[in-house]
Amino acid sequence: MIDYHVHSVLSGDASQTILAACKSTLDVGVEELCFTEHADFHPSDPNFNCFDYQEIKRQVEEVKEKYGDRLIIRLGVEIDYQQEYDKEIREFLGGNEFDYVLGSIHYVSDIPLVDHPRLFTGRIPRDTYGPYFDAVLGMIETELFDTVAHLDVCKRHGVKYYGEFDPEPFAEQIRDILAAAIRREMTIEINTSGLHQSPHDTYPSRSILEEYRSIGGTNITVGSDSHHLEHVGSGIGCALALARDLGFDCVDTFNQRQRGKRTI
């Protein structure tokens, strides 16, 4: 079992240490994990300038020495992509070495998704979900990232305002996203954090994964997106079962940004 989306206190918004996360990972049966600390470039973001590459690398090397005989540990990063910071992001990636680079979208029209009252109040889904999916497509087209993180995470707070997320009105946008990911040989993450959040669903939902599979998509991975110890490895078994049910037989792993395959 793998968990390819784990945060620690070094992300700025998590409570678990890298050491504690590794201990918890072993307890729940995860055999390979990747730390994906946040790298945020918007000056108003609470995690802006939190990313300390040398400290993260030092701590990851320490746990590799301690647990390396029982646990495969990778060094990754989750980058919140915004087109206006494209130059800074490229320089950041050019100056640091990672096993794995997750691309994510956390802003819509310069409003962070976590500021959901400001984003969703008084707006219809077309005006919030639509720009979000446009931003995801733009992120993919940069070819900077290995994986698309939590593809429909816009529904995390959106469900509080609109009810259950319906992907059908955005089917063309979602299809374009999936097709672009396939052309660029990117991986789609099955993120399990939504199972214990408001949607009570994976990111992305089953129907989106079905569409991805139907148009020839084969590259998936799984991640808990854990920020707290109780969520390390949480839902991974469900995500793997979902993947098997949809016809996927492997999940992607990464080492020095080279893809590997692990049988489900």
How many C-alpha atoms does 144 have within 13 Å on its Cβ side? 25
Mean pLDDT value across residues 135-154:
97
**Is residue 3 pLDDT above 80, yes or no?**
yes
CATH code, domain with 47? 3.20.20.140
**Is residue 233 pLDDT above 80, yes or no?**
no
> How many structural domains comprise the chain?
1
CB 24 within 8 A of CB 229: yes
Domain that holds residue 130: 2-263
Report yes or no on whether pTM surpasses 0.85. yes
Measure the CA–CA gap between 173 and 2, rounded to whole angstroms: 30
Mean pLDDT value across residues 114-140:
95
Closest CA to 180 of 83, 88, 103, 125: 103
Tens digits of per-residue pLDDT, 162-185? 999 999 999 999 999 999 999 999
**Is residue 187 pLDDT above 80, yes or no?**
yes
